[in-house]
Structure 1
Amino acid sequence: MALPYSRSRKDYLQAHHDIGYLSNELIENAVKFRQPGEILIEAGIIDGSFLLRVKNAVDSATASRFQQLLHRLQSKEPGVLLLEQIEINAISPESGSGLGLLTLLSDYDARMAWTFENNDEHIALTTTAAVAMPPSSNR
């Protein structure tokens, strides 16, 4: 997906890095916190942004913990929360990292959204994220 930015080595490397970091974080979280079942991954470049959507099943306890984290994200700037989480992780290794999501919001200016859909067996969590791509010289 970074190939449209290959006329400029700097733009290509930036796009490649941002796409890789975002993809790794969202897919890693989907694998780490999922219930048995498929993980749906959709990706594309839309209006100058790399868009990734990951859908997986989680149990109700995981959904509740994640919704509490999302509520906390609304209380402060992501950069402040990132520094707080780094301090918490340094003191207590059992705290659960949370650094990837905060880094995406703080350092990558990612735009993110989540939906939780209840069904009989689990909760379907859909995470959608977008990061701006460099202006392309060959588009």
Structure 2
Amino acid sequence: MTQIFGHFIEQPASQEYLIMGFSPSSVPLKQRWRNNGLSADFLADYLTTFFPRNEDEPSTIERQAEIKSAVSYIANELLENAMKFNDETSEYPIDIKLLLESDGVIFSVANSISPQAVDKFQAYIQQLLSSEPTELYIQRLEKNAADESCTNSGLGLLTMLTDYTAKLGWKFQTVHQDPEVIAVTTMVQLTV
């Protein structure tokens, strides 16, 4: 089974890319939670080396800072989601790939997902793709404010759509039959 949603493209043959992988069997992924920010910042620092700053040109300094902030935020959100919703019964690794294209950056994060969670996640994706992102964002803020026990803000993907005008896509793929292991790859395309 392979299903595609949104703006998912097969990986282009980029010359510049970086991949980080996390193995679910070495250390429980929940214990790595604090490392998400460090990993995201590393990816942002790596990418900004391709956008050099010129101290005599303030616009290059601002552009580099904006790119670094966007990459760090998006990478952190994607890693957190991948780890939070990873199928803990699977040995399928989590990986994040950052590709540098001539006009932008492509993030690709793969993780396993519980077969029982697929329908609910795909319904959420359909809602994201068929609704106005700003309206969904406001609805989510209101829902979070009304629910004091809310532990999942649900704002990460919406922020990518509203604040960064990113294109999002997903690929669901069965990678093992018995037991069933479903991998989901989330792709975020960001123009820089």
Residue aligning to 2:35: none
Residue aligning to 1:129: 188
2:79 is aligned with 1:27: yes
Give me the CA root mean square deviation: 1.5
Residue aligning to 1:48: 103
The 8 Å contact of residues 88 and 95 in structure 1, kept in 2 or not, is answered as no
Q: Distance in 1 between matches of 2:95 and 2:140?
A: 29
Following TM superposition, the consecutive aligned residue runs of length 4 or more in structure 1 with deviations greater than 6 angstroms are none
Q: Distance in 2 between matches of 1:13 and 1:61?
A: 41
Q: Count the aligned residue pairs.
A: 133
Moved more, 52-61 or 90-99: 90-99
Opposite residue 128 of structure 2, the aligned amino acid is L
Q: What secondary structure does 2:188 align onto?
A: strand
Equivalent of 1:3, from 49, 56, 59? Answer: 49
**1:42-62 C-alpha deviation (Å, 9 max, x unpaired):** 112112211111111010222
Alpha-carbon offset, residue 87 of structure 1: 0.5
Sequence identity percentage: 32
**1:66-110 C-alpha deviation (Å, 9 max, x unpaired):** 111111113321111000001011112347321001000111111
Q: Give 5+ residue unaligned stretches, structure 1.
A: 134-139
Kindly report which structure 2 residues correspond to 1:83-122, keeping only aligned pairs within 5 A, or say none: 83-92=138-147, 93-94=149-150, 96-118=152-174, 119-120=176-177, 121-122=180-181
Opposite residue 114 of structure 2, the aligned amino acid is D
**1:98-128 C-alpha deviation (Å, 9 max, x unpaired):** 1001000111111111011124222110111
More helix by share: 1
Q: Could you state the TM-score of these two structures normalised by the residue count of structure 1?
A: 0.88
Opposite residue 165 of structure 2, the aligned amino acid is D
Kindly report which structure 2 residues correspond to 1:59-74, keeping only aligned pairs within 5 A, or say none: 59-74=114-129
